[in-house]
Amino acid sequence: MQFTRHFSLGFVVSAPAILSLVIVALILRNHIDTVNREIDDAYRWIETSLIRATKIITVLDYSFSNYSYPDSDLLSEHSKIINDNVCQMWPIDKSLLREDNHAENVPIDVKYLIVGEKELCDEQSYLYQRASEQVSIAPVLSFLHDIDDYLFGVHYIDKEGYLMSAPVTYAKGVNSELLATIKARSAWRETLQNGDVITLLGPKPLIGTSKRVFNMMMPVYVQGEHQGVLSLDISAETLLGNYSNLVTGSIRMVDTSVGEIPENSVHIKPIEIEGVHSNHSLYYELDLVKETRFFFYEERYNLAVILILYVLSVLTLFFINTRVERRHFKELAAKDPMTGLLNRRGLEEYISSATRSEYVALAVLDIDNFKLINDNYGHDMGDNVICYVADQIANSTRDSDAVARFGGEEFVIYLRGRDQDQLIATLERVRTIIGQESKRILDSGFTVSGGVVVTSYEESRDFDKLFKAADEKLYIAKTTGKDKLEC
């Protein structure tokens, strides 16, 4: 006989797995959303920093355009030295001067450096006079350089070929060859081509270091005449590295006019800042292996809980299946497979657990002349008659009563009540209904006979004795005319 589980084995394994996968998917979605928010926050910080840098360079442009001092000799308060045909000048700390010292011999805290051709150190030269007019702005370079961590350097490159720089790192690496080629460089040309706007360039290596920087450059004009170029060095590492440890990939910024965005990039966002000419785009360089490892590490506790719940769910379903199977087999062992009524074992178990009552009636019914029905109409009709009788008895008794088939055409009815006559009347009504309605199943109709024993609850505990007495009554009914109850 084929047995159908309450839950199939596939369901037991797959249903919790599907539910677990759905929960994992939700956790993954939440993780991705969190990472996306972190990336968006990092992008906003980058854009805010670039906007802040544009304000710095705009302030410098205003200062250089409006606060030059002709005929001033502020360079006289600077130390100077010529090295390899390059003039270097730096401010003197007057608080360290003594009457017996010359300025160039006094140790000072250098904040900015002015570098140019050797003529810059000649106080009679045009280059010296021009630098004197603009040097009042040089301390501002030093001040602005210290405002933000991502600023590596602030520079002014004059059209005559000298530069002011804070800090001194970049300027110290400038030699005569570099000075001669500054105005020929693509950055200088591109800045001038873009007019009176800021140009964003890079990233590129910073001279004299292993660092990479972005450059914000802006031409300086005084009364419509070009004077030079302002330049801000922005640390690529600091600018692009300000995000939480939830972001395991790399945030990059590339000049798309000279470079390409990698194929594994997501969150591509062009840099669009008012007053800035830029071909740059931000992107997130995705490493799926690294991201997957980080996800499992970051969500390890949640995933462990899901795994435990999955195992518990599978075990619970297996337990339910076991209980259902046990109950199913128990029902099979206690019921007649043809009619669904109790069998002898089932009836005995029912009686053993039945609640107490004043009287108990046990009736044994038998279909009269059942052999002739089988012989004349066939065994299929005989089976139909048996099922019909079973249905009639079940429909004519209470849920608290018990009905069983003991094999063949023999049925047993177990009733409880307070009135003996009422119990017998109920059994007689059942027998009568079966006979009256029998033509619905068999044209010639048929009858049933029965033997009934009514006894007290205490005496009914011995089922074998009770059944034997009722069976003897049935025999009397069968041999004395049939179609009746023998009490």
Residue 123: which H helix or E strand, with range? none
Task: Tokens 């490892």: give the residue.
Answer: 293
| Over residues 175-182, mean pLDDT | 80
Nearest to 466 by CA among 347, 377, 378: 347
pLDDT digits (tens, 9 = 90+) for 384-416: 999 999 999 999 998 889 999 988 899 999 999
How confident is the prediction for the chain on average, in pLDDT?
86
Instruction: Give the span between the Cα atoms of 486 and 476, in whole angstroms.
Output: 7
| Predicted pLDDT of residue 461 | 79
**Of the given ranges (5-9, 99-103, 176-180, 289-293), which has the lowest mean pLDDT?**
99-103
Q: For residue 276, with 0-12 CB atoms within 10 Å meaning exposed, 13-18 middle and 19 or more buried, which class applies? A: buried
- At 190 the pLDDT is 80
282 in Cβ contact with 267 (< 8 Å): yes
Lowest-confidence region among 71-85, 293-307, 354-368, 429-443: 71-85
Could you tell me the pLDDT band of residue 193, with boundaries at 50, 70 and 90? confident
What pLDDT does residue 66 have? 77
- Residue 382, helix vs strand vs coil: helix
CA-based nearest residue to 464, from 397, 409, 406, 418 = 406
Alpha-carbon separation of residue 124 from 73, 119, 259, 305 (angstroms): 11, 9, 47, 81
Q: Residue 54 CB: number of other CB atoms within 10 A? A: 20
**Statement: the pTM of the whole predicted model exceeds 0.85:** no
pLDDT band at 168 (very low <50, low <70, confident <90, very high): confident
pLDDT, mean of residues 140-145: 82
Domains in the chain with CATH codes: 49-233 (3.30.450.20), 344-486 (3.30.70.270)
User: For the residues 181-199, what does the mean pLDDT come to?
Assistant: 79
pLDDT tens profile 85-142? 899 998 876 544 444 444 454 444 557 899 999 999 998 899 998 888 888 888 888 8
Q: Kindly report the CA angle at 60 between 57 and 62, in degrees rounded to 5? A: 115
* CB-neighbour burial class of residue 355 (10 A; exposed 0-12, middle 13-18, buried 19+): exposed
* Lateral strand order in the sheet of 485-486: 402-405, 410-417, 359-367, 448-456, 485-486
Instruction: Give the H/E segment covering residue 116.
Output: strand 113-117
Of 131, 85, 97, 84, the closest CA to residue 112 belongs to: 131
Q: DSSP string covering 159-197, please?
A: TTS-EEEESHHHHHT--HHHHHHGGGSHHHHHHHHT-SS
